[in-house]
Amino acid sequence: MSKASLVIMAAGMGSRYGGVKQIAGVGPNGEILMEYAIFDALRAGFDKVVFIVTEALVAGLREKFGDALAKKGVEVRFAVQDYSSLPAFHQVPKDRVKPYGTAHAVLCAREAVQEPFAVINADDYYGADAFRAISEALPALDEKRACMVGYKLRNTVSEHGTVTRGVCAVAEDKLRSVTETFKIACFPDGTIRDTAQDPAGRLLDPDAVVSMNFWGFHPSVFDALEDYLVRFLKSIAPDDLKSECLLPALVDERIRGGQLSVDVLHTDARWFGMTYKEDHPLVQAELKRLHDCGVYPPALW
């Protein structure tokens, strides 16, 4: 059995980006962003990669990564996130096209993962130090203990539009709560505000710890995910086209219920990502800098 899996959520629609950002070339040699996560994870000791994707992405990613990673002794698996994996009692509205969220995405990987695992977004850069930190934490996890890499809010916003972040309450390096906060915006005066309920915005602490969906779990979490998804689907309206079953909401519920303790890992790694098309050149420039200063070789593989 693998000692640690990297689970990559790559089935999102990229509606704010305006395209399939999971396969957008951003590195100096056309590397896609998730290549850096895979490269950093292998250096940190991970030996299995599980892609959660749409059916349309399977062939291309298998061609890109399958043989190359197999030659390095890395197991590669694919899990498709689609409506067919939902419980039989739920009838998907005919006009719904949106996936059912990150909790459903991770649950789709259940058959591919039997070991401790880290889960990430495909369109985020997390940094090599973050992978080392979570790799060291994974062996200690069990059904009552998980972990996450925390980032400062001010380092995770976009000047090109609003973002969604899991705003965390942390005490003594333990996650006390995580609140999925929508429409976080940078204002011209430099403040960061939650504008979901009020265009003027509710002021947020720029140094608040946020979750960027970089979690570490024991495989027993799949039972909790299944239960949570069932309850979520039973709670939404039959014609709901947009609600999502989100991983941070599950984690928050289990923390509040005393069922889970989550260690918050702090690293010097710097996050960046592609929420909007306008973020693309900034990410390209940052990756080029990391290659130029030797964090990455001239060509990753």
β-bridge mates for residue 52, sequence order:
9, 79
Instruction: Tell me the C-alpha distance between 203 and 301, whole Å.
Output: 44
Instruction: Tell me the C-alpha distance between 119 and 101, whole Å.
Output: 14
Instruction: Tell me the C-alpha distance between 166 and 211, whole Å.
Output: 5
The tens digit of pLDDT for each residue in 89-143 reads 999 999 999 999 999 999 999 999 999 999 999 989 999 999 999 999 999 999 9
The tens digit of pLDDT for each residue in 224-234 reads 999 999 999 99
Which band of pLDDT confidence, cut at 50, 70 and 90, is reported for residue 22? low
Residues near 17 by Cβ (< 8 Å), separated by ≥ 6?
123, 274, 275, 276, 277
The tens digit of pLDDT for each residue in 173-219 reads 999 999 989 999 999 999 999 999 888 899 999 999 999 999 999 99
Residue 21: predicted pLDDT: 55
- Would you list the domain boundaries of the chain? 5-292
Q: What amino acid occupies position 166?
A: G
Is the confidence at residue 19, as pLDDT, over 70? no
Residue 1: predicted pLDDT: 55
Residue 68: predicted pLDDT: 86
The tens digit of pLDDT for each residue in 57-82 reads 999 899 888 888 988 899 999 999 99
Q: Is 251 helix (H, G, I), strand (E, B) or coil?
A: helix
| pTM score above 0.95 | no
Residue 269: predicted pLDDT: 76
| Pairing of β 209-217 and β 174-186 | unpaired
Residue 87: predicted pLDDT: 96
Is the confidence at residue 157, as pLDDT, over 70? yes
Asked: is 5-292 a CATH 1.50.10.20 domain? The reply is no
Please choose, from the candidates 148, 265, 152, 274, the residue with its C-alpha nearest in 3D space to the C-alpha of residue 204: 152
Sign of CA dihedral 95, 97, 98, 103: positive
Is the confidence at residue 35, as pLDDT, over 70? yes
Residue pair 102/247 in contact (Cβ under 8 Å)? The answer is yes
